Structure 1
Amino acid sequence: MPAPVVTTMRLCLALLLLISPLAANPVMDGADPHVIAVGKNYWMYPTESRSRRPVFAAYRSTDLRTWHREGTILELDKVPWVKEDGAPWHGAWAPAMAEKKGRYYFYYSVGPQNPTPSRIGVAVGNSPSGPFKDSGKPLLTGGDGFEAIDPMVFTDPANRKSWFYAGGSAGSKLRVFEMADDMVSFKREVEIEQPKHFTEAPFMHVHERTYYLSYSHGRWNDSSYSVHYATGKSPSGPWEYRGQILSSDEKHQGPGHHAFVQDPATKDWFIVYHRWETSRKEPPFRGTRKIAVEKIEYDAKGLIRPIKMSDGRAR
């Protein structure tokens, strides 16, 4: 091949890499990712697999592919009310972030779930990177067959009302509340019909005036874990079950506990989720869970097309 042609090909490849980085799925270690878009940045709040202490951290990205750990935003052992249940240990997992009127509200799960009930806390800050100050008491405590885990807060762009979703796991029960204006307390609980195949990890987003309630089904540490969804005309339902959109395949097991996020520039939607990188169908799975990103598509009826997990570019 003539030298000028080789040089041209190399220049084109270099330009392509600059325009479209070839970062591969999975994008990082971790689980239970919640992602928001703020300006030109995406912010992720996962359950950290590598942490020896129960802490939460913020990760930042400009492209959903390369993530930088911006630092710890909340240390569980520095929240006074956490130790009031008398449990010998406490876990920190499954956080969520919401913004309202320029302030940021960080919701997080506190274990154990047994023998003392799980709880959900909320901390407040002025930016997505914190610092965050805890509100001083649990927002919600489990009990009577309900596990207070996996919080998610959605603010409806139609009227700016904020809605709180939580629950699942052993109880497999979803509860929905309308948030008070302070975002650290509830205005009221809403009675709902339990979504079909709901286990845990609820998430709400709206696309073209349709409200999408998505959630995980199955056991978190085996191949049954998957993502299902339902649609409705309001954030509190009623919802029509639409099916499964993300499930185990020949290379990855247990995909779930996800978040949807929209690219502010292109308006494309993406799902950020965790999975086990293994072809083995039966646990125990080896290693840590990994976080991956896939682009999602809606069909002509507004239904989400089934998502194929990828190893490679996130978009």
Structure 2
Amino acid sequence: MRGLLFAVLLAGIPSAASAQEVKSVFAGADPDIEVSDGQYWIYTTGGDESLSVWSSPDKVKWTRGEPLVRLKDVAWADDDRVRHFLWAPDMVQANGSWHFYYSVGPQNPTPSRIGVATCKGPAGPCTDSGKPLVTGGNGFEAIDPAVFVDPKTKTPYLYAGGSAGAKLRAWVLKPDMVSIDHEVKVETPPNFTEGAFMHYRKGIYYLSYSAGRWNDASYQIHYAVALSPTGPWRYGGPLLVGDKRYRGPGHHSFFEDPKDGKWYIAYHRWEGQIGDGPYNGERRVAIQPIQYRDDGVIDTIRMK
């Protein structure tokens, strides 16, 4: 039965869905969204030297909170040779605690690294672990962390990588969520650039990710599926691509809203841009519902 489902799932490229409601909510990039205590929480890139959270009771009105991590408080990121930046955060609740993962770059002349802080709640405060969780090098860029706790086995996985090396890697985390247990070998899926995200629904593991270049019209979201959180992947094709109005949609997260039982995607895009890029200015975060077919395929998303 599982084999049949898997074959049907990828029998063809997903067809376009009907126009769906979407709302551009605020300036930011690389959104990770969580739902807790009746509130929605979005963690974004923005500010370069700090990472903050936005909260909302209804996905419409958003309030920015205090910074969760400041670069000046991450002692291990200090280097007089180059200015560093923070980006691509991911917040996860596991084992009774909240854990906040983030990227420190650039890759050159110092290697990019992934850090993690433990937080008292979705709004912080957060305390850094005091050391990098993963360090890049040898052609691998340690960026864009995404942590997924397998609902079937309760195993926590960390996915990361992309950009210059365009390589996906994965690790199993220890129960403390701030240290590595071991690395798991995974394939890099077709057209992978960065921004991996994993979610699970009805027996299917969905690996989605950004393809193309982050600051031009080639940026888009693709996905692949598997029957385990580490593959092997079956490529599902493009899921969200730019159009004449909104360009370069990418670096996203999915969530199931407990209030209405629907699945949504949060992503960023360039608005008010002309041509193929490269673009300048601020990207904006957008949220919209997604639709699954009966066989598990995600309908192609059209922006509104």
TM-score, normalising length from structure 2? 0.91
How far, CA to CA, are the matches of 2:131 and 2:185 in structure 1? Answer: 24
Relative to structure 2, which stretch is displaced further, 277-286 or 230-239?
277-286
CA distance in 1, matches of 2:299, 2:239: 7
Shift of 1:260: 0.4
Measure how far apart 1:65 and its partner are.
2.3
For residues 63 and 135 of structure 1, the distance between their equivalents in structure 2, rounded to whole angstroms, comes to: 33
CA distance in 2, matches of 1:246, 1:101: 33
> What secondary structure, in the 3-state scheme, does the structure 1 residue paired with 2:265 have?
strand
SS at match of 1:71: coil
Q: Which has the higher contact order (CA 8 A, sep 6+)?
A: 2
1:212-231 to 2 correspondences below 5 Å: 212-231=206-225
Q: Distance in 1 between matches of 2:229 and 2:298?
A: 17
| Aligned-partner SS, 1:222 | coil
Report the 3-state secondary structure (helix = DSSP H, G, I; strand = E; otherwise coil) of the residue aligned with 2:67: strand
- 1:171 aligns with 165
CA distance in 2, matches of 1:182, 1:292: 32
Would you say how many aligned residue pairs link Structure 1 and Structure 2? 284
Which residue in 1 is equivalent to 2:14?
Answer: none
Q: Which of 276, 282, 289 is the equivalent residue of 1:295?
A: 289
Q: What is the deviation of 1:88?
A: 2.2
Q: What are the residue-to-residue correspondences of 1:6-17 with 2, within 5 Å?
A: none
Choose from 23, 29, 35 the match for 1:25: 23
Q: Which ranges in structure 2 are unaligned for 5 or more consecutive residues?
A: 1-20
| TM-score of the pair, normalised by structure 1 | 0.87
Matched, 1:61 2:59: no
Question: Is 1:116 matched with 2:114?
Answer: no
2:136 counterpart (126, 138, 142) = 142
Q: Structure 1 residue aligned with 2:232, among 226, 238, 263?
A: 238
Task: Give 1:17's aligned residue.
Answer: none
Report what 1:38 is aligned to. Answer: 36
Aligned partners of 1:278 and 1:285 also within 8 Å:
no
Q: How big is the shift at 1:284? A: 3.4
2:225 is paired with a residue whose SS is strand
Which piece of structure 1 moves more, 109-118 or 148-157?
Answer: 109-118
Q: Based on CA coordinates, which of the two structures has the bigger radius of gyration?
A: 1
Q: CA deviation at 1:25?
A: 2.6
Give the distance between the partners of 1:235 and 1:141, measured in 2 at CA.
22
Q: Tell me if structure 1 keeps the 8 A contact 2:273–2:279.
A: no
Partner amino acid, structure 2, of 1:141: T
After the TM superposition, which of the residue ranges 270-279 and 221-230 deviates more from structure 2?
270-279
Comparing 170-179 with 110-119, greater Cα deviation is found at: 110-119
The answer to whether the Cα contact below 8 Å between 1:205 and 1:260 also exists between their aligned partners in 2 is yes
Q: What aligned pairs does 1:50-129 form with structure 2 within 5 A after superposition?
A: 51=47, 54-83=49-78, 85-129=79-123
CA distance in 2, matches of 1:144, 1:86: 22
CA RMSD, aligned part only? Answer: 1.4
Q: Distance in 2 between matches of 1:211 and 1:66?
A: 32
The alpha-carbon deviation at position 127 of structure 1 amounts to 0.5
The alpha-carbon deviation at position 86 of structure 1 amounts to 4.1
Q: Is the 8 A contact 1:87 1:112 kept in 2?
A: no
Alignment map for 1:187-198 (pairs within 5 Å): 187-198=181-192
Contact 2:215–2:280 under 8 Å retained in 1 = no
Q: Is the 8 A contact 2:22 2:303 kept in 1?
A: no
TM-superposed CA distance for 1:172, in Å, is 0.2
Q: Which residue of 2 aligns with 1:132?
A: 126
Partner of residue 4, structure 1: none
Report if the CA contact (8 A) 2:82-2:109 is conserved: no
- Per-residue CA shift, 1:39-66, capped at 9, x if unaligned? 3111110001xx3x50011111122222
SS in 2 for 1:27: strand
Q: CA deviation at 1:160?
A: 1.1
- Residue 248 of structure 1 deviates from its aligned partner by 0.7
CA distance in 2, matches of 1:33, 1:280: 24
SS for the counterpart of 1:249 is coil
Tell me: CA distance 1:245–1:66, structure 2 relative to 1, closer, same or farther (3 Å).
Answer: same
Shift of 1:265: 2.6
Q: Could you list the runs of 5+ residues in structure 1 that have no partner in the other structure?
A: 1-22, 311-315
**Aligned-pair distance for 1:24?**
7.1
Asked if 1 retains the 8 angstrom alpha-carbon contact of 2:220 and 2:240, the reply is yes
Q: 1:279: how far off?
A: 4.9
The offset of 1:120, in angstroms, is 0.5
| Identical columns (%) | 49
Compare 269-278 and 281-290 and name the one that shifted more.
281-290
8 Å contact kept, 1:179–1:185: yes
